[in-house]
Amino acid sequence: MELIGDLPARPLDPAACFNQHGDPSDDGVSARSFRGPVAVVLPAGGCGERMGLSTPKQFCKLLDRPLISYTIHAFERIKWIEAVIVVVAEQHVELMKSIIQKYNHEKTQWCVGGLTRHRSIFNGLSVFVDDKFMECHLTKPKVVIIHDAVRPFVNEDILLKIATAANDHGAAGAIRPLVSTVIATNSEHFLDHSLERSKYRASEMPQAFLFDTIYKAYQKCTEYDFEYGTECLHLVLSYCNTQAKLIEGPPTLWKVTYKQDLFAAESLIKETLSQNVCVITDVDQEALQLGHCLKKMLMTQHMDVEVISAEYGKKKLCIPHVSSQESYNIIIIGNTELQEKQEVIDVIANSSMTLLYPMVLILVYISLPESTPFSKKLDEPSAIRRLAKEAKHRNILVYGLLVNYTKDSEELNESLENMCFISKSLMKDRNSALTGQLLVV
Amino acid sequence: MELIGDLPARPLDPAACFNQHGDPSDDGVSARSFRGPVAVVLPAGGCGERMGLSTPKQFCKLLDRPLISYTIHAFERIKWIEAVIVVVAEQHVELMKSIIQKYNHEKTQWCVGGLTRHRSIFNGLSVFVDDKFMECHLTKPKVVIIHDAVRPFVNEDILLKIATAANDHGAAGAIRPLVSTVIATNSEHFLDHSLERSKYRASEMPQAFLFDTIYKAYQKCTEYDFEYGTECLHLVLSYCNTQAKLIEGPPTLWKVTYKQDLFAAESLIKETLSQNVCVITDVDQEALQLGHCLKKMLMTQHMDVEVISAEYGKKKLCIPHVSSQESYNIIIIGNTELQEKQEVIDVIANSSMTLLYPMVLILVYISLPESTPFSKKLDEPSAIRRLAKEAKHRNILVYGLLVNYTKDSEELNESLENMCFISKSLMKDRNSALTGQLLVV
């Protein structure tokens, strides 16, 4: 696919946890123009009817992690957000508890939802004030953000705008232009009238409210509202006379509704994960040259590339640096022993990086014309396979790449282009079926 | 990604050209309850502002083919559709002409659009009646379908319903439930009111009209309509008093609007292409057994699998059969000479199959314990690379797969599971960076 996008390189953040250019959370508190705790309620009680799925969409897996964990992480990474309450159906409580534990969602707690969206949100809000949740030790927030579990790409920028506007005006919500014209039908399924598109907007999530305002609205609203209403903004308007401020959000706020949305979400995550790479080379001439060329080529593909050269045995020392850069791709160039590679894998696995996303590790071997052909070292390919098989269980995807190094500059250039093309595609696809393969360029 | 979908296996048809279970076009004419020609107008004059793209989205490539070609093909494959008029901006005429020629769009002609969507549609309609287009030799259709160039997944079922309803009622259009609540804002960007979601629908494409009705509406409508209107259904209601019949369409009618939609579209196409495979095996015992096991395993992955066994030299004779099954995946199992594989590639390339979609060809080699280790036959891997490089230019993606055949049933079973996992992923990903690789299972 041609990647000419409307999405800025970084702020996509399928959790901007991998944000190289300064963590926006750092400025979050100071940029925030109001004081007081902010919490989040995430209704996730849906049962997936719309998609016709056996698994509700918030629990569908992207890169082997449930969608809802991405959404939770998008909030947890923001310093000024203190707590996230996920509201789930009774039958998903155990699943939700296991997700919170497995992905170490420390700010997150769960409660059981009601039969409709509004009842679920009300249950989520009650956790902060109802005596029966006292054991949760939660402070009632000044501002509460309400979001959908199935909109994982919410970023700090829009959250800050919405929370600030809610603090100032009592309520705020994200909107988007309408993609299609909206029409009214009559009872025989004929067109009654169409709305002028420019006068209307789609109401999206997130929305935010002064806690007391939205809680009061729910206390006052009718059974009919609980049963058939869809829009919190409407409730605060009707019952608290609070007119919500509306703020234009980015297209990535879209709601994962159909199967094609799951595809889109996974592709966006993979694209973001493949935007930067750390290349660690041996110190010998060929490895250095390969590292240099690879950097040049990957940069023309709009990747951020950092090259580090290290002696035998020192490579594992570079990993804390990679980890601090939040890069999910490492390429190691050089023919050093497998033992060294195993040590690097151990360091990666012991950092917490691979908890949320699979790491790609490409081992580049150099076959020199004067040395024993690599393909004759029969033990090496199967050793890579064993290494990779074990690493896969630790969420590290290991691939081998064999470069035939020649003095013929035209041939070498073709090899290098191939190396770049294949590396880029391995980082982009994160295909777990191909780990342990030794690819030849 | 977990694939638990709402899309039925077949009717997705990113062009149901690869429809194994009977071609719906065959019944199209007889199922159609009216007589008279049907034509299509596809406004494609947009310049891609919404995506912030340098390439307008209708020309973005999916699997190396422009999106608009998929949409055109979705219509051309339907027998009862006689002509497609694509309306493009002046600056894209040459590009459009080259697309029509390259992908052999025989029913399609182009014309230049106006500055707005309505002007473009009117220009497209005029091709059928205006004297200056006489050289196009087009018959004025009884019913005209209007669609978006960026909704490639339109299927025959919805087209037939819409065209029939237009024939009966003068106008018809596809609708979908609203995904988000629609709200009205006041001039200060505060909420004015929200619409009750159940009473409204999103108006989507396709729409269809009696040609004379929509043409008359355009002749009568105002400059304001031409400039600011968006909805053809509204024009025929206002100017011809024709109330459109509204028909619920499938979710795959969605409009490719943002970058994530391009990702989703490409994934849907790939998924559809990987639903069936033809396995051609040698007649020796090991090849037959591998073919049999692969079939069993791929079927548990919801693939349609057909196994054919053929003697040396006969494999190319199977290709016309594969081609008639519209399968875009072939796995050849056996150690026969490369010459034979080259002949198979030639037959595939000379069929017209690869014009629209890349074909995946997986060559499975069997390494028997008693024979020379395959890895020692140094010429073989590089011969596969050469073969694959040449085949790629002909839109055939060739991969090698080496299976270590052992008598140990547990080991063999693991190899077979790996073979299935890797094959499935190669068919699914259609990754052109990895062609020519010899993967080991």
Give the CA dihedral B56, B62, B65, B70, nearest 10 degrees. Answer: -80
A417 — contact with chain B (CB < 8 Å)? no
Chain A environment of B4 (Cβ under 8 Å):
53-55, 60
Higher pLDDT, A395 or B137: A395
In this prediction, residue A373 carries a pLDDT of: 58
Task: Quote the crossing angle between the two packed helices A67-76 and A259-273, to the nearest 10°.
Answer: 50
In this prediction, residue A409 carries a pLDDT of: 87
Chain A nearest C-alpha distance from B314 (Å): 31
In this prediction, residue A168 carries a pLDDT of: 96
Q: How far apart are CA A278 and CA B109, in angstroms?
A: 50
The answer to whether the Cβ–Cβ distance between B180 and A255 falls below 8 Å is: yes
B265 — contact with chain A (CB < 8 Å)? yes
Q: How far apart are CA A17 and CA B42, in angstroms?
A: 43
B27 pLDDT band (50/70/90 cuts)? very low
Count of A-B CB contacts under 8 Å: 248
Chain A environment of B297 (Cβ under 8 Å):
none
B438 — contact with chain A (CB < 8 Å)? yes
ipTM: 0.88
- pLDDT tens digits, one per residue of B130-186: 888 878 788 999 999 999 999 999 999 999 999 999 999 999 999 999 989 999 999
Please state, in angstroms and as integers, the Cα–Cα distance from residue A420 to each residue in A78, A298, A435, B3, B395, following that order.
35, 6, 18, 31, 21
Q: Compute the mean pLDDT over every residue in chain B, rounded to the nearest whole number.
A: 88
Inter-residue contact B245 to A190 (CB < 8 Å): yes
Q: How far apart are CA B232 and CA B173, in angstroms?
A: 9
Enumerate residues 168 to 197 of chain B having a beta carbon within 8 A of any beta carbon in chain A: 169, 171, 173, 175-176, 178-185, 189-191, 193-195, 197
Structure tokens belonging to residue A29:
């508190």
Q: End-to-end CA distance of chain A, in Å? A: 23
Q: Is the pLDDT reported for residue B28 higher than 70?
A: no
Average pLDDT over residues B28-50: 75
Q: How far apart are CA A117 and CA A129, in angstroms?
A: 19
A379 pLDDT band (50/70/90 cuts)? low
Chain A environment of B225 (Cβ under 8 Å):
none
The answer to whether the Cβ–Cβ distance between B1 and A60 falls below 8 Å is: yes
In this prediction, residue A315 carries a pLDDT of: 81
- pLDDT tens digits, one per residue of A143-198: 999 999 999 999 999 999 999 999 999 999 999 999 899 999 998 999 999 998 88
- pLDDT tens digits, one per residue of A239-284: 999 999 999 999 999 999 899 999 999 999 999 999 999 999 999 9
In this prediction, residue A52 carries a pLDDT of: 53
B31 pLDDT band (50/70/90 cuts)? low
Q: Is the pLDDT reported for residue B1 higher than 60?
A: no
The answer to whether the Cβ–Cβ distance between A434 and B440 falls below 8 Å is: no
Q: How far apart are CA A431 and CA B221, in angstroms?
A: 55
A35 — contact with chain B (CB < 8 Å)? no
Residue among A61, A82, A78 nearest A70 (CA): A61
What is the bridge-based pairing of β-strands A438-440 and B38-44? unpaired
Residues 6+ apart with CB under 8 A from B207: B145, B146, B147, B162, B166, B171, B172, B173, B174, B232, B233, B244
Higher pLDDT, A17 or A141: A141
Average pLDDT over residues A40-55: 73
The answer to whether the Cβ–Cβ distance between A182 and B173 falls below 8 Å is: no
Q: Is the pLDDT reported for residue A29 higher than 60?
A: no
10 Å Cβ neighbour count for A426?
Answer: 26
Inter-residue contact B207 to B232 (CB < 8 Å): yes
Higher pLDDT, A72 or A313: A72
Q: Is the pLDDT reported for residue B11 higher than 60?
A: no
In this prediction, residue B220 carries a pLDDT of: 96
In this prediction, residue A26 carries a pLDDT of: 44
A101 — contact with chain B (CB < 8 Å)? no
Q: How far apart are CA B312 and CA A190, in angstroms?
A: 63
Residue among A326, A285, A328 nearest A309 (CA): A285
Higher pLDDT, B35 or B292: B292
Q: Is the pLDDT reported for residue B22 higher than 50?
A: no
Average pLDDT over residues A214-229: 94
B209 — contact with chain A (CB < 8 Å)? no
Chain B nearest C-alpha distance from A434 (Å): 7
Across A125-227, the runs of DSSP E, i.e. the strands, are 143-146, 171-177, 181-185, 191-194, 200-210
- pLDDT tens digits, one per residue of A72-127: 999 999 999 999 999 999 999 999 999 999 999 999 999 999 999 999 999 999 99
B91 — contact with chain A (CB < 8 Å)? no
Tell me what percent of the residues of chain B surpass a pLDDT of 70. 89
Higher pLDDT, A115 or A71: A71
In this prediction, residue B320 carries a pLDDT of: 82
Q: Is the pLDDT reported for residue A20 higher than 70?
A: no
Q: How far apart are CA A55 and CA B441, in angstroms?
A: 32
Q: How far apart are CA B77 and CA B356, in angstroms?
A: 12
In this prediction, residue A8 carries a pLDDT of: 35
Buried b / exposed e across B149-164, counting CB within 10 Å, b at 16+? bbbbbbbbebbbbbbb
Q: Is the pLDDT reported for residue B430 higher than 90?
A: yes
Q: Is the pLDDT reported for residue B15 higher than 90?
A: no
Q: Is the pLDDT reported for residue A7 higher than 60?
A: no
Q: Compute the mean pLDDT over every residue in chain A, rounded to the nearest whole number.
A: 88
- pLDDT tens digits, one per residue of B202-257: 999 999 999 999 999 999 999 999 998 878 999 999 999 999 999 999 999 999 98
Q: How far apart are CA B375 and CA B412, in angstroms?
A: 18
B388 pLDDT band (50/70/90 cuts)? very high
Residue among A245, A72, A215, A76 nearest A143 (CA): A215
Q: How far apart are CA A431 and CA A425, in angstroms?
A: 9
In this prediction, residue A136 carries a pLDDT of: 78
* DSSP reduced 3-state for B385: helix
Best of A3, A6, A397 to mutate (most B CBs within 10 Å, chain B)? A6
Residue among B259, B227, B235, B249 nearest B51 (CA): B259
Inter-residue contact B239 to B220 (CB < 8 Å): yes
In this prediction, residue B45 carries a pLDDT of: 84
Name all domains of chain B by residue range, CATH numbers in brackets.
16-269 (3.90.550.10), 274-440 (3.40.50.360)
Per the listing, tokens 């006292």 go with: A134
10 Å CB burial of residue A301 (0-12, 13-18, 19+) is: middle
Enumerate residues 6 to 25 of chain B having a beta carbon within 8 A of any beta carbon in chain A: 6-7
In this prediction, residue A376 carries a pLDDT of: 54
In this prediction, residue A4 carries a pLDDT of: 31
Sign, Cα dihedral of B4, B7, B8, B13 = negative
In this prediction, residue A33 carries a pLDDT of: 75
The answer to whether the Cβ–Cβ distance between A194 and B231 falls below 8 Å is: yes
